[in-house]
């Protein structure tokens, strides 16, 4: 099969290294953990101290964010005591970027020193037990775009990033999932909104038809979105430990009698309403990563 290297394959090792060097020469922070802020979850980056931030359009070879609620900058700093780097805004396939290009910043995170990735997103609930405002810890995902032959790892493999073939059975680190549940359990009001489930990514930007929603339910999907899966694949490929969660911003339309709830601006507002709890959850999970690395 012929690959169009410009559109499908993006980010040679040398290119990613050049970006990493550019950043490391301009910040004293040496991050251990990368955090990707989903739609409406950019507040996470606002919690950092000792900040050095870089607008995407000033970083060599970086794509730019085109989605409302995605600020478009990379923020280095400390979350509590732990040095981190946050993507305040991510890249989506529907913006016209290949999956490799959407996920390229994860490799940058790895080459600036991150061993862990925390990805967050806004997602629609397929599971009828869920409610808007729930937080779903991602236990596993279904790479539906991968079933159709689209994957961020398409094309020649560079062993300096990771292996050609990649096991994904424990993509979401069970230990971190368990830490997050313990942490959340100690936070007031979290038990009522905390879920654990299976996330699935579609290309978007359209939302699901009723028939598609019902199919996803049959497949065992709890929440559906347009990101995260390819970032986790890329992170696992380069040996990063991963944790992710979805903020449930809407119930998917599962019957023809229901009114459709989709509105990106409302999704961003749901994020704002929960930002205090989300920031606390992430701060505590990151602290546990810091503790585990210092022992």
Ligand X SMILES: Nc1nc2[nH]cnc2c(=O)[nH]1
The yes-or-no answer on residue 98 being catalytic is no
With CB under 6 A as the contact rule, which of the stretches 10-18, 143-151, 176-184, 225-233 interacts with ligand LQZ7MJT6?
A: 225-233
Rg (CA), the chain: 18
Q: Is 15 in the site for ligand LQZ7MJT6 (CB under 6 A)?
A: no
The footprint of ligand LQZ7MJT6 on this chain (CB under 6 A) covers a number of residues equal to: 13
Q: Distance between CA 117 and CA 227 in Å, rounded?
A: 14
In contact, 252 and 130? CB cutoff 8 Å: no
Q: Quick check: 158 and 238 in contact, CB under 8 A?
A: no
CA distance 147 to 85: 31
Residue 97 vs 267, nearer CB to ligand X:
267
Per the annotation, does 39 bind a ligand?
A: yes
Judged by CB under 6 A, does residue 120 bind ligand X? no
Looking at 29, 33, 39, 234, which residue binds ligand LQZ7MJT6 (CB under 6 A)?
39
Any known ligand binding at 110? no
Please report whether residue 194 would count as binding ligand X according to CB under 6 A: no
250 binds, among ligand LQZ7MJT6, ligand X, none (CB under 5 to 8 A by kind): ligand X
Range 253-259, long-range pairs (CB < 8 A, 24+ positions): 253/207, 253/208, 253/210, 253/213, 254/126, 254/128, 254/210, 254/213, 254/214, 254/217, 255/210, 256/210
Q: What are phi and psi of 201, to 5 degrees?
A: -110, 135
- The site for ligand LQZ7MJT6 (CB under 6 A) is made up of 38-39, 67, 90, 92, 121-122, 204, 225-227, 264, 267
- The site for ligand X (CB under 6 A) is made up of 122-124, 202, 204, 207-208, 224-226, 249-250, 252, 267
């Amino acid at each position: 099969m012929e690959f169009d290297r410009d559109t499908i394959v993006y980010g040679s090792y040398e290119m990613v290294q050049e970006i990493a060097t550019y950043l490391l020469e301009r910040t004293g922070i040496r991050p251990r953990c990368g955090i990707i802020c989903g739609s409406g979850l950019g507040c996470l980056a606002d919690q950092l101290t000792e900040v050095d931030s870089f607008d995407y359009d000033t970083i060599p070879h970086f794509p730019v964010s085109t989605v409302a609620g995605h600020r478009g900058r990379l923020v280095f700093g400390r979350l509590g005591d732990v040095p981190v780097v946050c993507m305040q805004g991510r890249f989506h396939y529907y913006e016209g970027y290949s999956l490799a290009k959407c996920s390229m910043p994860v490799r940058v995170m790895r080459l600036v020193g991150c061993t862990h990735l925390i990805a967050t997103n806004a997602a629609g609930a397929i599971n009828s037990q869920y409610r808007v405002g729930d937080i779903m810890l991602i236990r596993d995902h279904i790479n539906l775009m991968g079933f159709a032959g689209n994957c961020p790892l398409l094309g020649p493999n560079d062993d300096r990033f990771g292996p050609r073939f990649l096991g994904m059975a424990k993509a979401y680190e069970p230990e971190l999932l368990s830490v997050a549940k313990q942490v959340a359990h100690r936070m007031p009001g979290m038990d009522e909104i905390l879920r654990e489930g299976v996330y699935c990514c579609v290309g978007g930007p359209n939302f699901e038809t009723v028939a598609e929603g019902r199919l996803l339910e049959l497949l065992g999907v709890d929440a559906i979105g347009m990101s995260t899966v390819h970032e986790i694949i890329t992170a696992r490929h380069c040996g990063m430990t991963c944790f992710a969660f979805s903020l449930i911003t809407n119930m998917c339309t599962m019957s023809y009698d229901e009114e459709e709830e989709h509105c990106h601006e409302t999704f961003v507002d749901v994020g704002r309403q929960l930002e205090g709890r989300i920031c606390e959850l992430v701060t505590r999970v990151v602290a546990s990563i810091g503790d585990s690395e210092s022992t």
